[in-house]
Amino acid sequence: MHQDNKRTKGSSLMRGLGAALLMMLPALVFAQDAPPPPNKGDVSWLMTSTVLVILMTIPGLALFYGGMVRNKNVLSLLMQVMIVFCVGVLLFAVFGYSVAFSEGSNAFFGGFGKVFLKGMTGDSLTGTFSKATNIPELGFFCFQATFAAITPALIVGAFAERIKFSALLVFILIWLAFAYYPIAHMVWFWSGPDAYTTAEAGAAANVNAGFLFNKGALDFAGGTVVHINAGIAGLVGCLLIGKRLGYGQTALPPHNLPMVMIGSALLWVGWFGFNVGSNLEANGFATLVFTNTLLATAAATLAWMFGEWIVKGSPTMLGAASGAVAGLVAITPACGWVGPMGSIAIGVLAALICLWAVSGLKKMLGYDDSLDVFGVHCIGGIVGALLTGVFNSPALGGTDVYDYVANAFPNPADYSIATHVISQAWGVGVTLLWSGIVSLVAFKVIDLTIGLRVTEEQEREGLDTVSHGERAYNG
Amino acid sequence: MPEGRDPSDNDANAMKMITAIIRPWKLDDLQMAVARLGVQGITVTEVTGYGRQRGHSEHYKGSEYQVEFVPKLRVEIVLDEASAEAVVEAISNVCRTGKTGDGKIFLAPVGEAVRIRTRESGAAAA
């Protein structure tokens, strides 16, 4: 300490400059060569979110569906959800991730450069929604793999209690390859924010970005990619397979509503991973996504409950569980684009429209969508997708769409709800058509080869014993 | 069973089965009432059915069901014919609420009864 008094002013200035230069050196190096390392908070949240989405499927969705069917079929639902989940993550590793999230030669399918996760290690990086911010690519892969697995698992509810297990497995493989992966690519694939340095660079980056991404269709966490997609596949499936024996004449009530409630609660809790994880960063914006997911769902649950109370005479547990899921579905595309009050509006509207869809519409059109995959996921997804265009407006509390070239948000006065809703409609329409047609062809081919449905005798006996050689409740 | 034996031949061995369909929550009252009259055996089954009392409506999302059947208990008591009337009256009194759905009591003759442990037969086994 005493020594410092003897240093001259000049030499300490030189020392200071030298120190400053040394500190700048890493930044200079990174700007030119190595991308910034991932933030440990971001990585932790990404992995935690992935675990939450796994929980949504097993056991969340499995229990939600399992409790809704008769006790002779409960195992078949648990099996279908769990096994489809496993098939889903594995196929995604084989070629799904490559097709969905790598650059292809067109706007519909990615390339095969990352099949079998080629070249991906713990050090591989991928972008987020912020410039110069990366996350480990394997973390992103796992997160997206759980999405690619829960989506086909949703579909099974539409034709519960009568589908042939082998037929389902074949269908899932075809549907993932030709519907889910391209639709995920169309909606979500882009080169990342770092490519948008200038307007020209941005335009070049857009050339091979996803078709619906370029249409401006906003889907923060998968309202289109997951819910509309699965929902329309479910509708096509239940129409082709036909109604359950006794549907409309005999009572087919849920065998275990406590199980349904547990499933719906696990879905809600896990959905925070689904929605907030889609932010890819653990920052302040993520807390907005969290808020939207919390409020929309609570509002939807109450809206469904009150709607049912008024129209049907009593507020049911099944209704509350369904209302929560409807709200979650609808806020999924919107959660990163709307404000909290907008999310409440979305929750309420989605719940009331879905309540009508599973009762009035269903009775009117006469289809047996056993666990309301179309009525909740497809209709709820459509409502959420379209309302995203509305409530994304800054005038209605929304965030607007960030301009990565200007590095700023646009002038709020320039937001056109009409333009955005049209972009959303593109996403809805293309998904309905694409997934609907793929499902139609796939189901038809399977029906003509191995058959879609169990025999009448097997259906009466119950899928648990017939398809799985097991009884759920012994003694 | 010994040849040529007819229940009505020997009055002391004549037995009756009382079958009572009652409201489930009345079981404890019934059991105490018949125990007081010396009844030592009783069998209870959960049943579902209806008489004039119809069920209620339930709704599950889009589906509405009119549930016709109502849960009840079926109580069976086999005893000697002489005691039957008093037991029927006791059951009837203790299970009555005055509202539709109180239930019914049936009586039927029982041809034979056997106690498995001791091989006794007749009214002593009932």
> DSSP string covering A232-277, please?
HHHHHHHHHH-PPTTTTTS----S-HHHHHHHHHHHHHHHHHHHHG
| Angle made by CA atoms A275, A159, A352, in degrees to the nearest 5 | 50
CA atoms within 13 A on the CB side of A334: 42
Spatial distance between the Cα atoms of B107 and B113, rounded to a whole number of angstroms: 16
What the block records as the tokens of A42 is 């971001």
At residue A5, the pLDDT reads 45
| A253 min Cα distance to partner chain B (Å) | 7
At residue B56, the pLDDT reads 87
Spatial distance between the Cα atoms of A450 and A23, rounded to a whole number of angstroms: 68
Report CB contact under 8 Å: A312, B59.
yes
| B55 min Cα distance to partner chain A (Å) | 14
Give me the residue from A313, A314, A372 closest to B61, CB to CB: A372
Q: DSSP label at B95?
A: H
Pairing of the two strands B43-49 and B70-80: antiparallel
Q: How many A×B Cβ pairs under 8 Å? A: 30
State the burial class of residue A25 (Cβ atoms within 10 Å of its Cβ: 0-12, 13-18, 19+): exposed
Domains parsed from chain B with CATH numbers = 11-124 (3.30.70.120)
At residue A23, the pLDDT reads 54
Q: Let me know: does B49 contact B21? Beta carbons within 8 Å.
A: yes
Residue A447 pairs in a beta bridge with none
Question: Of how many residues is chain A composed?
Answer: 475
At residue A171, the pLDDT reads 98
Residues of A in contact with B55 (CB under 8 A): none
Question: Does A318 reach chain B within 8 Å, measured CB to CB?
Answer: yes
Give me the residue from A251, A314, A358 closest to B62, CB to CB: A358
Residues of A in contact with B59 (CB under 8 A): 308, 312-314, 316
At residue B14, the pLDDT reads 92
At residue A11, the pLDDT reads 57
Q: Let me know: does B77 contact B87? Beta carbons within 8 Å.
A: yes
Report CB contact under 8 Å: B63, A312.
no
At residue A9, the pLDDT reads 52
Pick the CATH number of A35-468 from 1.10.3430.10, 1.10.3720.10, 1.10.472.50, 3.40.640.10: 1.10.3430.10
pTM, entire model: 0.89
Which residues of chain A fall below pLDDT 50?
A: 1-8, 26-31
Which residues of chain B fall below pLDDT 70?
A: 1-10
Question: Does B56 reach chain A within 8 Å, measured CB to CB?
Answer: no
Distance of CA A389 to the CA centre of its chain: 18
Spatial distance between the Cα atoms of A267 and A57, rounded to a whole number of angstroms: 8
Give me the residue from A251, A313, A322 closest to B61, CB to CB: A322
Chain A residue with the nearest C-alpha to that of B59: A312
Amino acid in the structure at residue B29: D
Question: Does A316 reach chain B within 8 Å, measured CB to CB?
Answer: yes
Question: Does B35 reach chain A within 8 Å, measured CB to CB?
Answer: no
Residues of A in contact with B61 (CB under 8 A): 318-319, 322, 358-359, 372
At residue B12, the pLDDT reads 73
At residue B52, the pLDDT reads 87
Amino acid in the structure at residue B28: D
